[in-house]
Structure 1
Amino acid sequence: MNGVGSGWEAVLQQQSAPPVRRLSLDEGKLKNGLGQLVLTLVKLLHELLEKQAIRRMEGGSLRDEEIERLGTALMRQSEEIERLRLEFGLTEEDLNLDLGPLGKLL
């Protein structure tokens, strides 16, 4: 009886234990995925800054030299985002994440 009971216990333990899943970490994919996420967020913030700058310009709250500095800073930021996008081998569409029912991010 002892041998039969222990056999059933093993079966019950196997049935109740969650399956063991191994996480496959490919360093290249991990780096690229993280790069994609970070660049997507940076690009989103960049676009928000551009929109805010346009509102301020149209509202007349910026002086000419501030507009010039802001334009230069946004242009350099855009160039750096593009450089990093190419460095990670991402397309423009890669930075436009699909948020499901909310639609595309950018």
Structure 2
Amino acid sequence: MTADDRRPGTRFDDVADAAARAFRLLPTTPQDVRPPAGPGTPRPAHRVRTDPDTVERDLIKLVLTLVELLRQLMERQALQRVEAGDLTEEQEERLGATLMILHDRMVELCARYDLAMQDLNLDLGPLGTLLPPAE
């Protein structure tokens, strides 16, 4: 039996088991993290710190980050379709206007929650930042 013949539920169970094993390897609290042995030793990733006073703002920041990521992906796909000539002129105009409105709404929501668009770019450590640099 090949991997393609397996039921989707079984593959999901395999992924869940692998994730559970990986999380068991992680320390549960910052106290479990040993200090670096020397100057060249990599430091562990920063832990999530929660503060009841900022939980709403932090949640909004996360949601807006995901929306901004999707907006940028949609924008790139739209540009590819325009360059490929897949859209009529009317569709291009409508798509461009929609993406501009969405960007304006993102800026408004960031302002409402005292965030800058740069605040939405999460640092993923060695992978770099989540969003590409602003042009």
Normalising by structure 2, report the TM-score.
0.58
The letter for the 2-side match of 1:98 is D
Displaced runs of 4+ in structure 1, greater than 2 A? Answer: none
Residue 63, structure 1, aligned to residue 88, structure 2: yes
Higher helix share: 1
Q: In structure 1, list runs of 5 or more residues that go unmatched.
A: 1-22
- Deviations, residues 42-97 of structure 1 (Å, cap 9, x unaligned): 00100000000000000000000000110111011001111000011012221010
Residue 29, structure 1, aligned to residue 54, structure 2: yes
Bigger radius of gyration among the two: 1
* Equivalent residue number for residue 51 of structure 1: 76
* Equivalent residue number for residue 91 of structure 1: 116
* Equivalent residue number for residue 18 of structure 1: none
CA RMSD of aligned residues (A): 1.5
Per the alignment, in what secondary structure is the counterpart of residue 62 of structure 1? Answer: coil
Q: In structure 2, list runs of 5 or more residues that go unmatched.
A: 1-48
Q: How much identity, in percent, do the aligned residues show? A: 46
The alpha carbon displacement at 1:101 in A equals 1.4
In the alignment, the residues of structure 2 paired with residue 50 and residue 73 of structure 1 have an alpha-carbon distance, to the nearest angstrom, of 10
Q: Greater relative contact order (Cα 8 A, min sep 6): structure 1 or 2?
A: 1
For this pair of structures, how many residues does the alignment match? 83
Residue 82, structure 1, aligned to residue 102, structure 2: no
In the alignment, the residues of structure 2 paired with residue 101 and residue 67 of structure 1 have an alpha-carbon distance, to the nearest angstrom, of 37
* Equivalent residue number for residue 101 of structure 1: 126
Residue 42, structure 1, aligned to residue 67, structure 2: yes
In the alignment, the residues of structure 1 paired with residue 50 and residue 88 of structure 2 have an alpha-carbon distance, to the nearest angstrom, of 54
**Counterparts in 2 of 1:24 and 1:98: CA distance versus 1, 3 Å:** closer
